[in-house]
A and B are shown apart, each in its own frame.
Chain A
Amino acid sequence: MIATSQINRRRVLRGMLGGGAVSLALPFLDCFLNTNGSALASGASLPLCYGTWFWGLGLNPGRWEPKTAGKITEFGPETQPLTPYMSKVNVYSGMKVILDGRPMITHYTGDWAVLTGTTPREERVTIPTIDTLIGDVIGTKSRFRSLEVASTGNPTHSYSRRSGNVLNPAETSPPALYARIFGSEFKDPNAADFTPDPTVMARQSVLSAVKEQRADLLKTLGASDRARLDEYFTSLRQIEQQLDLELQKPAPMAACSVPGKVEDVKLGTEIDSVIGNHKLFAGLLSHALACGQTNVINVTFNDATSSLRKAGSSMTHHVYSHEEPVDNALGYQPNVTWFYMQIMQGLATMLETLDGVKEGDHTLLDRTLLLATTDTGWAKIHGLDDYPMITAGGANGRMKTGIHVVAKGDPATRVGLTVQQALGVPVNSWGTDSMQTSKAFTEVLA
């Protein structure tokens, strides 16, 4: 977590501003950073980061799990691309989504059950996803509470929501994400000078006027509208917090650098575009995390009903998953599996990018905990058993890594609970009905 600085910057700035623009040269490094850049000067660790990395259509059972339980020494054929990060990854096999008699909504039930802890009864999710629960703990002091991206070009390919009414839409364009993070409102945490913008203070006044209406509005609304209005005002508070932060000199982040501008790219579900955009997103998000702009990211490589396709092919990954026969000699669907390999290579790219950001003796991946999951077990049959769950990163030493955890049909929520506890969410039980669990995987908690 970001430690409270010895200097109360806000108070200093407010006193010095006097309502106008003043250029402040606050002491760089001397005050805020330790000598090797791996922690804040107070000795506190750099902030924890969390990410959900979502892919669609699961993996082939028996082909993604490491060969043995305990320390990972070899991945399964479909997770081979993760080999360079073997010591920083955990794999959880034998996980399951339990229906409890609810309808199986294909490519919907599994993803939302795993990410919310509750198997949905209908195509309407009313429970917050794990990233928002974690963001409420580790993401409150960053400029963006979270950043969502989808490499498929579709903003609805997001697997993050605060409630049933609020899907956090995904950015689909890397240039747009670049502009959002590193555009004119970006404050370089390592800049020597800091000039608070009086317009930001003016905007605060305006938002206060909006907020003043809340009580009057609530009086005129019915119950469900009140809940929706409260969600609006929650969002407003986050904007206010963003403005608050813009008036403070940000804590220096030694590994922060502004990436090069991203040019226009081709959007869509054609696999080369998806891989290319995902790589750009991975880079931008790593820079955003390293610069303290956010501590929570949500990455969609491909959607649950995977619309990935090869150029020139009439088939999508999803259509293949149902219509391609299992090759008797190989024992799996070759085209479906080809897409799996691209997806796992995508995950490897994400890990490579995070691990490539050096922060003293450690890397950005080391202070991150990434939960990689999907919508189904074996896609061919819309299976909910053998549900692939992978975590990566050590959460600043709170997670042991390099471990294959073997469960026996346990609810997949055990992984989500473990992740939350590792990141300091004060929760000892998560999920509902048969997906409810109070058993974190203590063998991976440091």
Chain B
Amino acid sequence: MKTMKLEGMTAKRKQGLRGSVAIVALALSLFGVSGVAKADGDVAAGPVAMRRLTQEQYRQIIADVFGPTVKLGGRFEPDVREAGLLAVGASQVSVTASGLEQYDSMARNIAAQVVDEQHRGLLIPCQPASATAPDDACAKQFLGKVGRLLFRRPLNDHELTAQVAAANAAAVKVKNFYSGLGLSLAGLMEAPQFLFRQEVVEPDPDNAGQYRLDAYSKATRLSFFLWNAAPDPELLAAAQSGDLNTQKGLNKQVDRMLASPRVEAGVRAFFTDMLGYDGFDTLAKDQTLYPKFTPKVLGDAQEQTLRTIVDHLLVQKADYRDLFTTHKTFLTPLLASIYRVPAVFPDGYQSTWIPYEYPKDAPQAGILTQASFVSLHSHPGRSSATIRGKALRQVLLCQKVPNPPGNVKFDIVQNTNDPNYKTARQRVKAHATQASCAGCHKIMDPVGLAFENFDTIGGFRTTENGADIDSSGELDGAKFTDVLGLGKAVHDNPAAASCIVNRVYEFGAGHQPTKPEAAWMAGDLQKAFVASGYKFPDLLKSVATSDVFYRATPLQTGALDTPTKLATDLNSQQETQK
């Protein structure tokens, strides 16, 4: 690839490029279609995109800014999974009319609580001259302060002026200062600057020709990455002062944030996303067949795995790969009942969590044998070797399993009542009789069959329809005799470690990696993870303190008619450069 330096151009030339489509062509010629900056060695950089707040992030921000007594109501737009992560999908979604209607309703509801008599004394830093008329100064003070927290940066003059004017106009119409202020606050919370995390790119003064996130965008990316929350005042202050743009200042903030208990929320958010726990929102099991699987169990199942992960990775600071083999976990009475393990609970209190360690000869070990995995990846009334095998490959090893083909006859795959096909192994073997199916099922079924000792809710069994279950199999050349062996095979599979490295970066950056980013991840980042002994906090720190994480490709800006036209122009540019 050709390398060029911006500083090699004349000022006039640079000026001419600004604000025109030419900058797009320039960017493409400099950085290539994958956004690779080569101006100063092999520097990886990725695209930036607005990211819609997830439900949990929205909730967390409201709790952080207004306190836990302010309640949310209404529903959120469903988050969208892309490339395995909701965090990546958030970079590609917008807001529908019905979604905005809900945001509008929630925002007004929250704002009404903030300005009510119970909260206004605590949350509004001033009092109006009259409660029934506009008060410019007080509105400005409040909206400026709260706007900085909601927008993750100070409001610019235009924004603040508009919000104050809206508060005043509303106060006149409803003849109440606080109601007017509340409506303007609601406006802040339904504005795109709040609902989307917008990242602003600026030229990097230390590396000519390269671009980076500006300090507030950097603070925002860092904070959502480690805490799944908006920047706190200290981080915003570091952005404002410029400290965050120094390596020393960045390291200081990262150390502070990793030492904070709030990092647990970040780790939980990451694994909730990676493990696809949004699927629990609509997961149901047949209550006639599985009466134990109550809504409470749904919550307990997720919580068990998240507690296991947090304890293992953050408290014990243990090897990430041991999550697939660890005998340590946490149980509630309901889960113990499903797993049929003799755990002892103080006073039999139903909501009590206790730490529990499986005996060495127990058939369960690692998070793959927990209800959160085997129940999430099953049918409502029966297990599914194929779904479980596919999930393991895609979720934990980041391997892509193709979609099934069309126009395929399934005649040979008989139902569960057929006496010739009692077990799942016998049934899925039929896939091998169809050439178009066999290719993919060979990579899913031998892995998924290892879970057949667990029914659709995670209960342990040794037979199905009276026939013994054979849970042996093979994963990428590693043979095993049961699910414990599968856990060991996952532990030893290099894809498990590289997958978590990729997912962590993608979760923070909000996009699939460009080729140079992928190369950096597979190289430096992976090496650092291995050298740390596969310690997850070290992986977070490696990403959060890296240069790459905040480096960006320049925006495709310009005076174009429409985004569609820009996309067309970009495609033409790319074509001509091939």
Contacts and interface: CB of A to CB of B under 8 A. Distances in A.
Contact of A169 (B48, B94, B98, B108): B98
B407 A104 contact: yes
B556 interface: yes
A223 B556 contact: yes
Interface in A1-56: 19
Contact of A227 (B156, B406, B564): B564
A315 B415 contact: yes
Nearest to A183: B105
Interface in B364-412: 379-382, 403-411
A338 B170 CA distance: 58
A123 B59 CA distance: 30
B381 A235 contact: no
Nearest to A227: B563
A104 B413 CA distance: 21
Contact of B200 (A106, A220, A231): A220
Interface string A147-187: 11000011110000011111111000000100010000000
B180 A202 contact: yes
A121 B521 CA distance: 30
Nearest to B430: A323
B80 interface: yes
A206 B186 contact: yes
A407 interface: no
Contact of B198 (A164, A221, A231): A221
Given A209-B166, A314-B416, A148 B98 contact: yes
Contact of A202 (B94, B169, B193): B169
Contact of B288 (A144, A198, A228, A311): A311
A270 B404 CA distance: 26
A162 B99 CA distance: 13
Dominant secondary structure at the B interface: loop
Given A210-B190, A315-B381, A381-B408, A169 B99 contact: yes
Interface residues of A, number: 83
Contacts, number: 235
Contact of B97 (A165, A201, A238): A238
B77 interface: yes
B379 A380 contact: no
A325 interface: yes
Contact of B403 (A105, A167, A236): A105
Given A206-B187, A221-B50, A213 B158 contact: yes
B217 to A, nearest CB: 10
B75 interface: yes
The 8 lowest CB-CB distance pairs between A and B, nearest first, are: A314-B381, A104-B406, A312-B288, A202-B170, A209-B166, A231-B94, A206-B187, A227-B563
Interface of A: 19, 103-106, 109, 144-148, 153-156, 162-169, 176, 180, 198-199, 201-203, 205-210, 212-213, 216-217, 219-232, 234-236, 238-239, 242, 268-270, 307, 309, 311-316, 319-320, 322-326, 380-384
Given A146-B98, A324-B415, 18 more contacts: A104-B406, A106-B403, A153-B282, A153-B284, A166-B95, A166-B96, A199-B183, A213-B158, A213-B193, A220-B555, A220-B557, A222-B557, A223-B566, A224-B92, A238-B100, A313-B286, A313-B289, A322-B413
